[in-house]
Structure 1
Amino acid sequence: LLHCRGTTRWSGCGLTYRRCQSVNNMKVFVQVFLLCCVAWVGETRFVCHYTTWSRDRPDEGSFQINDIPGNLCSHVVYNFLGVNETYQLGLLQPEYDIDERGLERFAALKEQFPHLKLLVAVGGWAHGGAKFSEMAKFRTRRNQFIGSVMRFLHQYRLDGIELVWLYPGNFDRGGAVEDKDTFLYLVTEMGKLFREEGKLWEVVIQVPVDVSRMAVGYHQEALCEAADFVHMVGYDLRGWWNNFADVHSPLATRPNDLVMESFEHINVGDGVEDWLTNGCPPEKVTLGVALFGRTYLLDDPLDNTIGAVTVGAGDPGPYTNEPGYLGYCEFCHNITGSDWTLKWDDVGLCPYAYSETTWIGYENERSLQEKINYVKRKGFGGIYAFSLDLDDYRGGCGEPFPLTRFLSKNYHDETKIKEWHVFSSTTEKKDTDQSEVKQ
């Protein structure tokens, strides 16, 4: 007798606990289960995010739907749609989504890449949390929203939704005290209605690994049970707003974090562990990694270690045009110059670099391999990359999509763990953890 358990061993086939429960006919269940799992064997979840605003960047920075490397990804997520004034799924950029056929062309990726699962993300930083909070407050509004999502998924033949509510329960983001409960209701009811529709649409939630936000807005165990996958944001844990230089996706607590007590547990490892300890199954976890760096202006060019005092954000890049933020495509060539010093955080397992008063913490092949090892060691369900348009997709520093390609190849590799014995890449030239390299 097959028992329904909350495991995503079946989720690659769309057979999570909640879907398993809905199958009353055991003969039908067995047939569907076997058919699905034939398709699922060997599947790994490498999710790539596509941002619609990247199309408007100048010159070589313009990233279009036809630039998406569907051969490298198992899933692609379209960022973003929103919640409208009538508590339904709304378009944030209708001139692109509809007039320029953005959604239609996105859905057509399946014609070129039949293996792809295509999702749409709802929310995001600019969207805020107020509309989510208002929509989720009442069941009638939640039903309106879920119904509009279902019609949308039918219309564009998509495979699911990622809820990017930043952040439930946080007053500074338009939240309310009851958000913690109503977010759970929303995810649970969405899964139930998807199931009743007879579709294997994914319900994905994006959540922080910043422990200061978790208790306020998330019933961790229940949310993980209700969702099919949980995308954990393993980046942006530091930035120029903190007034000290640091990598923004450290895997563990470093000595300098102990000096600043509020940062002792603000790292990927501690944040994810909090979710696991509070009942989130590792098979449902998809860890997010960044294809961008966070930049700073040093107060003193001679004080350039992690924790150095900073006086603001680094200069904006030519494409992203955002202070304190550079896509890999905007700095991968610069840091190979003789005026840059490249370093490695031995504990956080991330690279950083500096030149005069400019300091940047980022990801490269070495740090991404460390995160792949971490994901495999913990038995997580997958990895996601944010975002494709920030990688060196034109190949200005070598092969196009170097970081995306590295993640896809090495995460799909059946080898359990890979050690980085001899390191060489386009972004750092040294073969020990301790040495500093002047090029």
Structure 2
Amino acid sequence: MLLKLIVLLFAYVSLDSASAATDKVFCYYETWNEGIFGPDDIDVNICTHINYAFMGINEDGSLRLDGSDSMLKSLSGLKSKNPDLKLILSVGGWNEGSTPFSNVAADAEKKANMADSTLWYLQTYNFDGLDIDWEYPGQRGGTPADQENFIDMLWVLRGKFNDNGGYLLTTAVSNDPDAGAYNIGAISE
């Protein structure tokens, strides 16, 4: 019993210290959890941001909803419990692969379609931004041009978001130098 109390106390102190160090806690809600763990099970006082993982990418660059419309609506409803909560669509992930991103990032029309489609989802479901989880530029069906094309794709999205209310734009990158060609300095801009 004492050991459990010590572990719980340590977890509480660790969580408290972590939240003092940063004001952002990103939580992922995966599409494959639908029916197992619902949005109402999420403690919206712990998560400052919830990433809905994952949206897919159609051949024309538009986003593809791999989950359900009702799930996006349910997640959006969490803002009534915590108005400061930020909801983010996360596109990609391991299962999406690199090829769809590579094809979109290399084509101006497809990048514009992606930006327009993303904006539609954000506005329709009251989400606050987009997270790009491209695993990995230049690999898994990608091309050597992916690194620069990725930066351009981010600029197209940023421009669309800035012109329409300043939506959030995040990306998940690997710290493994063999996992892709990320230009972290350019991404940060």
Specify the TM-score bucket, using the shorter chain as the normaliser: 0.7 to 0.9
Q: Quote the residue 1:49 is aligned against.
A: 28
Q: Quote the Cα distance in structure 2 between the aligned partners of 1:143 and 1:200.
A: 17
Q: How far apart, CA to CA, are the structure 2 residues paired with 1:54 and 1:189?
A: 31
Letter in 1 for 2:91: V
CA contact (8 A) 2:90 2:132 kept: yes
Question: Which whole-Å CA distance do the structure 2 matches of 1:43 and 1:167 have between them?
Answer: 28
Name the counterpart of 2:102.
Answer: 133
- What is the deviation of 1:71? 1.1
Q: Which runs of 5+ in 1 are unaligned?
A: 1-41, 57-61, 226-439
Aligned counterparts of 1:48 and 1:212: Cα–Cα separation in 2: 26
Offset of residue 55 of structure 1 = 3.0
Which one has the largest radius of gyration? 1
C-alpha distance in 2 between matches for 1:63 and 1:207: 27
The Cα offsets for residues 158-188 of structure 1, whole Å up to 9 and x where unpaired, read as 1000000100111xx2211111111000011
Give the aligned partner of residue 419 of structure 1.
Answer: none
Q: Does 1:205 align with 2:171?
A: yes
Task: Kindly indicate whether the alpha-carbon contact (under 8 Å) linking 2:30 and 2:53 is maintained by their aligned counterparts in 1.
Answer: yes
CA deviation map 1:62-94 (0-9, x unaligned): 21111111111111111110101221011123x
Give, as a single letter, the amino acid of the residue that structure 1 aligns with 2:60. Answer: T
Instruction: Output the TM-score relative to the length of structure 1.
Output: 0.37
How many angstroms apart in 2 are the aligned matches of 1:87 and 1:200?
Answer: 21
**Which letter does structure 2 place at the counterpart of 1:52?**
T
Q: Does 1:84 align with 2:53?
A: no
Which 4+ runs in 1 deviate beyond 3 A?
none
Q: 1:201 Cα shift?
A: 0.7
Match of 2:130 among 161, 166, 170: 161
Does the residue aligned with 1:72 lie in a helix, a strand or coil?
coil
Q: Distance in 2 between matches of 1:86 and 1:139?
A: 11
Matches within 5 A, 1:21-420: 44-55=23-34, 62-93=36-67, 97-98=68-69, 101-170=70-139, 173-197=140-164, 199-213=165-179, 216-225=180-189
Does the residue aligned with 1:212 lie in a helix, a strand or coil?
Answer: coil
- Distance in 1 between residues matched to 2:26 and 2:55, nearest whole Å: 18
Structure 2: stretches of 5+ with no match in the other structure: 1-20
Report the structure, 1 or 2, having the larger helix content: 2
Partners of 1:117 and 1:158 in 2: CA distance:
7
1:43 positional shift: 7.4
2:31–2:66 CA contact under 8 A, matched in 1:
no
Distance 2:137 2:51 in 1: 21
Equivalent in the alignment of 1:313: none
What is the CA deviation profile of residues 278-328 of structure 1, one whole-angstrom value per residue up to 9, with x for unaligned ones?
xxxxxxxxxxxxxxxxxxxxxxxxxxxxxxxxxxxxxxxxxxxxxxxxxxx
Q: How far, CA to CA, are the matches of 2:155 and 2:59 in structure 1?
A: 23
Distance change (3 Å), C-alpha of 1:102 and 1:126: same
Aligned residues: 169
What's the TM-score once normalised by structure 2's chain length?
0.85
CA distance in 2, matches of 1:217, 1:47: 24
Following the alignment from structure 1 to structure 2, what is the Cα–Cα distance between the partners of residues 85 and 222?
Answer: 26
One-letter amino acid matched to 1:161: L
The residue type paired with residue 82 of structure 1 is G
Q: Secondary structure at the match of 2:118?
A: helix
Partners of 2:158 and 2:47 in 1: how far apart? Answer: 25
Give the whole-Å Cα distance in 1 for the aligned partners of 2:166 and 2:24: 16
SS at match of 2:44: coil
SS at match of 1:207: coil
Deviation at 1:151, TM superposition (A): 1.1
